[in-house]
């Protein structure tokens, strides 16, 4: 028989031994990213761009220059002008920016952010082996912020692509990029949330992480622990211009769908309903007899759009799209945008307190595809697309066409015009349609300077544009 005091000591010793030996009490191990980095780094690239802009102080303030960053900003949207101390207000000034990207096809195809290469006159790609190659822009889609580049090289290292639909909140991820120009910097963290919708970016279900991302990381890959790309780092939430704990990545499934369309068609096709929507507030939900605030409230319809043709009405609340819940109004554009034009979708709606189901044949969001551009690129260096009645009402204008592409060497670019501007009039003649614009340009004499009225983000602005017959 063991004495009582010895029994107690023996039990304590045994308990301590079990605590040391039992894996359940072992300290958790943090992930080791060394193998991931060794394998992935060769396919991650640094991207630098230059853009020659007219040095004119008024244009700098109105058309770019050193803009005040917004809370939600593309984190390399700022330009960095080269110093020109004492130079006159006119002339050309190179502006440079840096970003990241990765090779996804061994024949030289590279993915990055659209905002990294926006308006670039020259794009250079620095490979991991220190080769510097000039890249061609295959295509860019601003709505998803995805761009595809092509360099003349073969047998390049590539990255493995994962499935962003398999991601879970809390899992580890890592980023490789070039923050502030420091090539192949590695940062890590966890996924904070998935399917985040950001203001003005309603077509992307962003991956939110706490991975440290800074200017220059734009377009770089986000990896899971298996070394697979699950996202493209795109945005940060910041009040200072630098990392503040929130970063957002484009899911790789979304990015690859966009990249495929850009390579095959040169543009991205999206579904379109032709409705103007607003959130359902708590008070509105109560007035509609809803138990909770959810869905997208139709405020206005395009008269000839798919929604109007299918019988949807202003005041309807869209609750589901093909069985997928519309938990907030910002969810609807993404669900519809993912639908191929021409396909039918079943919309579950609330109308006059009753639930109904309406089938709508989805239309195509106005894009600039091979047969959708108009205008005279040899004359102005632009391609345009028509404006819907809703867009005109939103901008407070009666007429105009939206500028979809600008030739950086053309007359329009020299005047400070850029994609997204609305061309309202030329020489006091209103622009009603792409066809009318083309006819007008045909009849205008050469070697003439005319006032051009633009609408940029709801603001009117005049520029002088010189016409010519030399392109």
Helix (H) or strand (E) holding 440: helix 434-443
Nearest one of 137, 225, 215 to 178, comparing CA atoms: 215
What is the set of domains in the chain, with CATH numbers?
Answer: 34-267 (2.40.10.120), 271-364 (2.30.42.10), 382-466 (2.30.42.10)
Residue 45 and residue 126 in contact, taking contact as beta carbons nearer than 8 Å: yes
Instruction: State the pLDDT at residue 454.
Output: 92
Alpha-carbon gap, residue 118 to 292, rounded angstroms: 42
Residue 325 and residue 319 in contact, taking contact as beta carbons nearer than 8 Å: yes
User: What's the pLDDT band for 95 if we cut at 50, 70, 90?
Assistant: low
pLDDT 10s digits, 153-172: 999 999 999 999 899 999 99
Higher pLDDT, 376 or 108: 108
Instruction: State the pLDDT at residue 52.
Output: 67
Nearest one of 116, 114, 103 to 44, comparing CA atoms: 103
- Of 54-63, 151-160, 236-245, 335-344, least confident by mean pLDDT is 54-63
Report H helices in 135-290.
252-265, 282-287
Q: Give the pLDDT mean for 273-278.
A: 88
Higher pLDDT, 372 or 137: 137
Left, alpha or beta for 361 (phi > 0: left; psi -120 to 50: alpha)?
beta
pLDDT 10s digits, 390-436: 788 888 899 999 887 777 667 787 788 887 889 999 888 999 988 88
What does DSSP assign to residue 319? E
- CB under 8 Å to 77, separation ≥6 — which residues? 67, 69, 115
What does DSSP assign to residue 248? E
Burial class (CB in 10 A: 0-12, 13-18, 19+), 87: exposed
Alpha-carbon gap, residue 430 to 424, rounded angstroms: 6
Residue 72: pLDDT over 50 = no
Residue 298 and residue 358 in contact, taking contact as beta carbons nearer than 8 Å: no
Instruction: State the pLDDT at residue 74.
Output: 46
Q: Give the pLDDT mean for 211-239.
A: 94
What does DSSP assign to residue 374? B
Buried b / exposed e over 164-188, threshold 16 CB at 10 Å, is beebeeeebbbbbbbbeeebbbbbb
Instruction: State the pLDDT at residue 63.
Output: 35
Alpha-carbon gap, residue 222 to 141, rounded angstroms: 20
Q: By three-state DSSP, how is residue 47 classified?
A: strand
> Between β-strands 324-325 and 229-237, what pairing exists: parallel, antiparallel or unpaired?
unpaired
Average pLDDT over the chain, rounded to an integer: 82
Number of other CB atoms surrounding residue 337 within 10 Å? 20
Report H helices in 88-224.
114-117
Determine the Cα angle at 40 with ends 38 and 46, to 5°: 110
Q: Give the pLDDT mean for 358-366.
A: 88
Buried b / exposed e over 133-154, threshold 16 CB at 10 Å, is bebebbbbbbbbbbbbbbbeee
- Number of alpha carbons in the 13 Å side-chain half-sphere of residue 311: 10
Q: Give the pLDDT mean for 168-188.
A: 95
> Between β-strands 132-134 and 136-141, what pairing exists: parallel, antiparallel or unpaired?
unpaired
State the distance between the two ends of the chain, measured CA to CA, in whole angstroms.
106
Instruction: State the pLDDT at residue 416.
Output: 84
pTM of the model: 0.70
Sign of the CA dihedral with 423 first, then 424, 428, and 434 last: positive
Which sequence positions are flagged as catalytic?
Answer: 115, 145, 218
Q: By three-state DSSP, how is residue 25 classified?
A: helix
pLDDT 10s digits, 106-125: 999 999 999 999 888 899 99
């Amino acid at each position: 028989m063991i004495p009582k005091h010895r029994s107690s000591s023996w039990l304590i010793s045994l308990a301590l031994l079990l605590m040391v030996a039992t894996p359940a009490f072992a300290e958790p191990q943090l992930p080791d990213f060394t193998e991931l980095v060794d394998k992935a780094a060769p396919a991650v690239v640094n991207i630098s761009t230059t853009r020659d802009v007219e040095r004119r102080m008024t244009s700098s303030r109105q058309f770019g220059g050193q803009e005040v960053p917004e809370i939600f900003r593309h984190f390399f949207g700022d330009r960095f002008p080269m110093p020109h101390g004492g130079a006159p207000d006119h002339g050309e000034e190179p502006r440079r920016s840096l970003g990241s990207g990765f090779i996804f096809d061994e024949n030289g195809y590279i993915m990055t952010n659209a905002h990294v290469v926006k308006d670039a006159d020259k794009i250079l790609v620095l490979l991991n082996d220190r080769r510097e190659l000039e890249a061609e822009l295959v295509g860019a889609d601003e709505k998803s912020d995805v761009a595809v580049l092509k360099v003349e090289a073969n047998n390049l290292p590539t990255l493995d692509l994962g499935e962003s639909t398999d991601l879970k909140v809390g899992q580890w991820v890592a980023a490789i990029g070039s923050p502030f120009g420091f090539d192949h910097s590695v940062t890590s963290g966890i996924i904070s949330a998935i399917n985040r919708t950001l203001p003005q970016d309603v077509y992307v279900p962003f991956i939110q992480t706490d991975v440290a991302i800074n200017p220059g990381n734009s377009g770089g890959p986000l990896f899971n622990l298996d070394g697979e790309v699950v996202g493209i780092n795109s945005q940060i939430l910041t009040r200072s211009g630098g990392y503040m704990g929130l970063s957002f990545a484009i899911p790789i499934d979304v990015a690859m769908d966009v990249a495929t369309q850009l390579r095959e068609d040169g543009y991205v096709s999206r579904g379109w309903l032709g409705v103007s929507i607003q959130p359902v507030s708590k008070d509105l939900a109560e007035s509609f007899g809803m138990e909770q605030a959810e869905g997208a409230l139709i405020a206005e319809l395009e008269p000839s759009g798919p929604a109007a043709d299918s019988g949807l009405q202003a005041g309807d609340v869209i609750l589901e799209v093909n069985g997928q819940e519309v938990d907030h109004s910002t969810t609807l554009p993404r669900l519809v945008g993912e639908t191929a034009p021409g396909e039918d979708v079943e919309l579950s709606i609330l109308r006059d307190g009753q639930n109904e189901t309406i089938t709508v044949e989805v239309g195509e969001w106005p894009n600039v595809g091979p047969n959708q551009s108009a205008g005279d690129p040899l004359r102005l260096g632009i391609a345009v697309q028509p404006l819907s009645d809703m867009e005109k009402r939103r901008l407070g204008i009666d007429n105009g066409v939206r500028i979809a592409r600008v030739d950086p060497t053309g007359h329009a670019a020299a005047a400070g015009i850029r994609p997204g501007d609305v061309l309202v009039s030329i020489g006091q003649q209103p622009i009603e349609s792409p066809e009318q614009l083309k006819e007008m340009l045909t009849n205008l004499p050469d070697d003439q300077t005319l006032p051009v009225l633009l609408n940029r983000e709801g603001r009117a602005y005049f520029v002088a544009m010189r016409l010519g017959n030399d392109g």
